[in-house]
A and B are shown apart, each in its own frame.
Chain A
Amino acid sequence: MSRKPYEPTLPNTWWLEKPFYIRYMLREMTSFFVGAYVAILIVGLWQLSQGPDAWGSFLGVLSHPLSVIFHVLAFVFATFHTVTWFALTPRTTPIMRGDHFVPPGPIIGAQYVIWAAASIVVLAAVLW
């Protein structure tokens, strides 16, 4: 008897099938906001190097309501991206101490500590 296997194809809507896949796609989408925010930051630096007038007009654009909405969204998505990434780190970088793996808790916790420390340094540099 000759064989005739059925060849299935994955529909483009595969990611709508399960909440797990939807969460994955949401996480992938956060990259757009993180990337866009970085691009704006680089444009800002460029404008700063071009003198007070250029910098002033850049600040003007930033204070536009649409820009404020974008930044709020970017913050929410960047936070989602960060938190989920921290949660995945024990998988990407398992650490051994002696004969055993370090449990996920300390690895995840250490990243929050570093995050908080970095935020304090940046805030201190801005405020003083």
Chain B
Amino acid sequence: MSDTTTFTLEVLRYNPESDDVPHAESFSVPYQEDWVVLDALNWVKDNVDGSLTFRWSCHMAVCGSCGMMVNNEPVLSCKAFLRDYLKDGKGTITVGALKNFPVEKDLVIVMDSFMEKLEAVKPWIIRTTEKPVEEGTFIQLPKQLKRFKHHTSCINCLLCYAACPQVGLNPGFIGPAALALAHRYNLDSRDQGKDLRKDVTASEYGVWECTFVSACSEVCPKDVEPAGAIQEQKIESSIDWALDHLIPGRKAR
């Protein structure tokens, strides 16, 4: 048991009505061993400054709303325990909005660009041939599900976008989560939309913007493995390119 009684949050705050750049503000909160960073932020909001702005909902690493930078690492603040940041019984952390996104206010980012990218990869099952209802449901074997199931766990928390330097350097890059989801549907045995998604995933804003830093997979709280999903698509895209050049008329699809 620790005899720590207080914990310090250095929160990077930004008020669009009065600030041009974010500035740090320090808050001392009571230390509780079972508290996560989100609990500490809620305590500040309830007891010190009601204007402190951040997103959260489920408090159990499912909704993906409370992603933020803690000590410059992208984390879900509901999953980041204060006790893990204690050093010699003392605790101080920096808390900021997720990197690589515009900041709306305090810890709230503008995620419009991500929503556009997500929609661009058509993350739903696409059928080019319809199956009559009387033929029954689509059968999927356990091994077919297993092939892509880990890519389905994404909660759109955007930690991977905050970790990826290519997202920061090239704002147009479709990015890890959306490309992983595209791969998830491409691998689904019920889907026939791979060729349609290719226009985006194999474009200059798609998988080829990735340089395999693999920070996305390192920070992913759901083990979605976006880095792997993107590299697999690069291999497919390369084979596609080669076949297009070897087989006359193939590219026309």
Contacts and interface: CB of A to CB of B under 8 A. Distances in A.
Given A8-B99, A15-B165, A96 B16 contact: no
In the complex, the 8 A-B pairs of residues with the closest C-beta atoms, listed nearest first: A10-B168, A91-B228, A5-B102, A92-B231, A4-B16, A6-B103, A99-B143, A5-B110
A109 interface: no
Contacts of B49: none
Contacts of A65: none
B22 interface: yes
B6 interface: no
Nearest to B217: A91
Interface residues of A, number: 26
B228 to A, nearest CB: 4
B86 interface: no
Interface size class of B (residues with CB under 8 A): 35 or more
Interface stretch (A18-26, A33-41, A119-127): A18-26
A7 interface: yes
A50 interface: no
Contacts, number: 71
B231 to A, nearest CB: 4
Contacts of A6: 14, 16, 19-22, 102-103
Nearest to B20: A6
B214 A91 contact: yes
Interface string B189-216: 0000000000000000000000111110
B165 A10 contact: yes
A62 to B, nearest CB: 33
Contacts of A4: 16-17
A20 to B, nearest CB: 6
Contacts of A24: 213-215
